[in-house]
Amino acid sequence: MAYDNIHVETNGRVGIVTLHRPKALNALNNALIAELNLALDKFEADAGIGCIVITGSERAFAAGADIKEMQPLAFPGTYTDDFISSWDRVARCRKPVVAAVAGYALGGGCELAMMCDILIAADNARFGQPEIQLGIMPGAGGSQRLTRAIGKAKAMEMCLTGRQLTAEEADRYGLVSRVVPLAELQAEAMKVADKIAGLSLPSVMLTKESVNRAFETTLAEGIRFERRLFQALFATADQKEGMAAFADKRSASFKNA
């Protein structure tokens, strides 16, 4: 399928989506989100894909939402149409998603990056939630995911003032998994994605589900949830193969079953 606002490709068992609105610094509009969601649906349905990478350009992962598209909107329509809820598709992916972020990740771009499971940043990346400067506030999870990632004090300052974080600050505050030189960003993101995609897909998906549950329940309930998933994996052929390979001192050959 031809896309107008993104580029889609596969590399082995990794599906790659590159946001591509260069004249708008990859600003997120309805058309781009619809194409991104369609690409994600296809990768999720493809048994040959074990991990997904989302990236942008060297100048911008995504510099925010498309303000020109949003400007004429009014409350009744945004509420009845449930505006921006479709942007949450990335967070609902069952397969792991790696964000490779260079340049600006602001507003919706920062929110999109935070929906991903592993966030690798180039050393020129900048993160921010500047919506307050437009008379609005984050609407795609920014005030919630940012607070969980870096704590109330820093998230409150960013959301109330629009202050941006450098890549080094984002790393120090725990917003990103790591920071790498810009020239190495794509290779590092692919290295991580390849590693994940080569593992047992059931165990990878259940592990992702378990980590995410830690933000949604108590510690005791989370531990019970983790334990049931752990026990369930002993019903898989991949558990038998993984442990047999370890005992035989060879590489495992997972069948995702």
Catalytic residues: 65, 108, 111, 131
d(CA 88, CA 231): 30
3-state SS of the chain? CCCCCEEEEEECCEEEEEECCHHHCCCECHHHHHHHHHHHHHHHHCCCCCEEEEECCCCEEECCECHHHHCCCCHHHHHHCCCCHHHHHHHHCCCCEEEEECEEEECHHHHHHHHCCEEEEECCCEEECHHHHHCCCCCCCHHHHHHHHHCHHHHHHHHHHCCCEEHHHHHHHCCCCEEECHHHHHHHHHHHHHHHHCCCHHHHHHHHHHHHHCCCCCHHHHHHHHHHHHHHHHHCHHHHHHHHHHHHCCCCCCCCC
Q: Closest by alpha carbon to 149, among 97, 111, 182?
A: 111
